[in-house]
Amino acid sequence: MQRLIDAFFNSVRAFRKLAVSEKAFQQELMLLALALPLGWFVSISWRGYALLIGAVLLLIMVEVLNTGIEAACDAFSREFNVDIQLAKDCGSLAVLISVIIVAGVWGIAIIERIAGLPI
């Protein structure tokens, strides 16, 4: 049980650090804050709402992992290294793919809502 408690406090520490210092994380938290109420109006089912919010949470999760990759790379070396550049670029690509997923899920949900189709 102590491991779970320690993991929880480690997660809270990371959340606070990212919420204070990482602009992308702050923007995605704002997106989540907007998505929580907006999802009620866009979705017509609990399942659809869960999908809309889950897509935004996926984006936040990928951003957290990307930030971790960048921090690990920077801790290893701040000098240019082609392998470190690739690791950082791959993390950035993962975030971009997540943004595309969020845009697609929300776009389809909005179109279905306007057209009166079920989600």
Q: Is residue 90 part of a domain?
A: yes
Looking at residue 81, the DSSP 8-state letter turns out to be -
Q: Is residue 9 part of a domain?
A: no
Q: Is residue 96 part of a domain?
A: yes
Stated pTM of the model:
0.91
Q: Is residue 2 part of a domain?
A: no
What does the pLDDT look like over 17-43, one tens digit per residue?
999 999 999 999 999 999 999 999 999
Q: Is residue 72 part of a domain?
A: yes
Q: Is residue 5 part of a domain?
A: no
At 98, the pLDDT band (50, 70, 90 cuts) reads: very high
Q: Which domain holds residue 73?
A: 23-115
pLDDT at 29: 98
Q: Which residues have a catalytic role annotated?
A: 63
pLDDT at 116: 84
What does the pLDDT look like over 4-15, one tens digit per residue?
999 999 999 999
- Among positive and negative, which fits the CA dihedral 29, 102, 93, 84? positive
pLDDT at 78: 86
For residue 58, what is the domain's CATH number?
A: 1.10.287.3610
Binding-site annotation, residues for ATP: 3, 22, 70, 88-89
Q: Is residue 14 part of a domain?
A: no
List Cβ neighbours of 77 (8 Å cut-off, separation of 6 or more): 84
Binding-site annotation, residues for a divalent metal cation: 22, 70
Q: Is residue 83 part of a domain?
A: yes
CB neighbour class for 62 (10 Å; exposed up to 12, middle 13-18, buried from 19) = buried
Nearest-10 Cα torsion for 90, 62, 51, 14: 180
DSSP string, 22-59: -HHHHHHHHHHHHHHHHHHHH-SSHHHHHHHHHHHHHH
pLDDT at 118: 63
**What average pLDDT does the segment 55-71 reach?**
98
The CA R_g of the chain, rounded to the nearest whole Å, is: 17
Say how many domains are in the chain: 1
pLDDT at 84: 96
